[in-house]
Structure 1
């Protein structure tokens, strides 16, 4: 079922419309394309918009970890060599300025790669190999201000427990929440200075509601301002789990058929990059899509997948229609509702832009 040969974004898809139900988007297949020798990317892992409206991409290519675009897709800047496993990006306005928070997952390109192996994760000859990950706070020039490293240094992990963080969320008071989604699957809460507060989860938790499996993405749901909640993807369970900001379990939202990443809120809706469709009990290659949820946490439209079906109030398993994406990994949304999408393992392709046709969502 690997359709990678047909899924690489190409000019023949340019201008085509995807989506449904008032959430329709036209593909700009040429947005953001650059000279790959001068500005290479490995995976377009995440994107964020700064206060100037610039689109900032983080990629795990250490020739240029950051590519800065305007919304027309023109390159404004490139920098960064410090993040071989760059995986997630958050931009935040604080009292003393605007800052970037970067999550390095610990995966890095292997200088001893055999040129073939890409999924042999424990092999010393695989294309990527694991080291410890970390989180860094940077100014907008890309200078590192502080880092948060392996939790064994603060006594909450033992040295044999892997730490390969995948995402970050930041509360209004500056508290930092980190998902260790490629490591030991805990959520770790720090204060704004990086001092440990608490942790919970893990993939061997005896309490199913607290158990997290490939906890890939995290965001704070502020749609009810009186009761903000953490929304955390337990990706291998095709689910989101809701917690209070103090780590108390609230609820689970199952998304059958979808290996879901970080939710991105836009008004009362949220958009979710899906890396894989779960088909026949397996996360199938090149089967990503984007799901759009309403204020009641129901899927109202899919981009690059069959449209959602509910039977007796239950969402039926969703899957790709093999039209558009390889593996959707990160996205951001501008003021006009246009989407900018980055992908993992997508032929080293640059981000793509989906132009909002309706502008009413």
Structure 2
């Protein structure tokens, strides 16, 4: 059976998904800062609370913490890929309130959407799953809509079964976003790099993206994440991650390319909107020698209303020369292994979910 590393090698050589999921052996980042040390830059500085989560992984096992959302009750809902408890629910003090979910071995993407005053979840199983021996296996991905307590409402169709993909195209979705009219946008970030648009009933509308265009602006390479940007309320747009090219790409809601924001050196995950800022976990970063996919080189990056990087908690301070952002690196004293997602609460604290982080729960960054 094809290993995860073989899959990644082939997709990189083919110039398609390009470095989607590097198969690092996990370990604990050494030489972490003291607990009371302040990280970040400018107005976005934080105290690290790495023991925020009041739980034991012996009772509630964790493989990877992938994404987190806050519901209308202020609860923090985290999706992981351990099928003893795919979903862990915390309060903001870190107390574990609930856990559920056994059907998502590739639990990866989590979107919460208020639908008529009721919270709904869109859960993405990316199709890659890790057994308890550590071996990675690939199967078909899936997107499910559930209630906030896990009752399944419907699943989106596999694009290969409805004539949208050919049967030999991979479908390994990574993320969803919900548009202002209820349309569902799915990123096929570990598969064929398309954005798939469905209506609120799960009926297919269109697709765009992929990685075979002559115009590189239209290509997505590891389309890892997507969100709706409402900063211009009269004209919301989509922000899509092109992780292998260290960039966010902006599109209209019907898939027309607008612009690219380059984030050199940072292999970013999904964009997370809070007020006028964009936050993102950086899963890994380059070395100063230009080596990619280095183990335990993650951090968090924060952009302002003009899409300028203003802080890199766990990373070095952003630098601009002649208006151009220079390559970004992890700080010399590491904090994170691999920042996979962030969640921002009403007090502007940040909760960081990590992939490949020695089975550890999320870390809280308390805003100072």
The two structures have a TM-score, normalised by structure 1, of 0.91
Q: Secondary structure at the match of 1:209?
A: helix
2: CA distance between counterparts of 1:5 and 1:15?
A: 23
**Residues 1:191 and 2:212 aligned together:** no
In structure 1, the residue matched to 2:266 is: 258
Q: Indicate if the aligned counterparts of 1:9 and 1:29 stay in contact, CA closer than 8 A.
A: no
Query: Which residue does 1:42 correspond to in 2?
Result: 63
C-alpha deviation, 1:16, in angstroms: 1.8
Aligned residue for 1:121?
none
- 1:289-300 counterparts in 2 under 5 A? 289-300=299-310
How is 1:53-202 mapped onto 2 (pairs within 5 angstroms)? Answer: 53-95=74-116, 97-110=118-131, 113=133, 127-202=135-210
| Unaligned segments of structure 2, at least 5 residues | 1-23
Of residues 315, 324, 341 in structure 1, which corresponds to 2:352?
Answer: 341
CA distance in 2, matches of 1:189, 1:353: 33
Aligned to 1:123: none
Cα displacement (A) at 1:281: 4.2
Displacement of 1:105 after TM fit? 0.3
C-alpha distance in 2 between matches for 1:6 and 1:38: 21
Change (3 A) 1:6 1:60: closer
TM-fit CA distance, 1:284? 1.5
**Secondary structure of the corresponding residue to residue 282 of structure 1:** coil
| Deviation by residue 1:234-285 (Cα, 9 ceiling, x = unmatched) | 0000011110001000111111011111111111111111111023141211
Quote the offset at 1:95 in angstroms. Answer: 1.8
Runs of 4+ aligned structure 1 residues displaced above 6 Å come to none
TM-score by length of 2: 0.90
**Equivalent residue for 2:257, pick from 230, 249, 256:** 249
How far off is 1:37 after superposition?
1.8
Superposed CA RMSD in Å reads: 1.7
Distance in 1 between residues matched to 2:84 and 2:294, nearest whole Å: 30
Give yes or no for contact 1:107–1:131 (8 Å, CA) kept in 2.
yes
1:301 aligns with 2:301: no
Counterpart-to-counterpart distance in 1, 2:28 and 2:90: 27
Equivalent pairs counted in the alignment come to 342
* Partner of residue 326, structure 2: 316
| 1:22 maps to which of 17, 40, 43 | 43
Decide which of 70, 73, 78 is 1:52's aligned counterpart.
73
Residue matched to 2:21: none
Structure 1 unaligned spans of 5+: 116-126
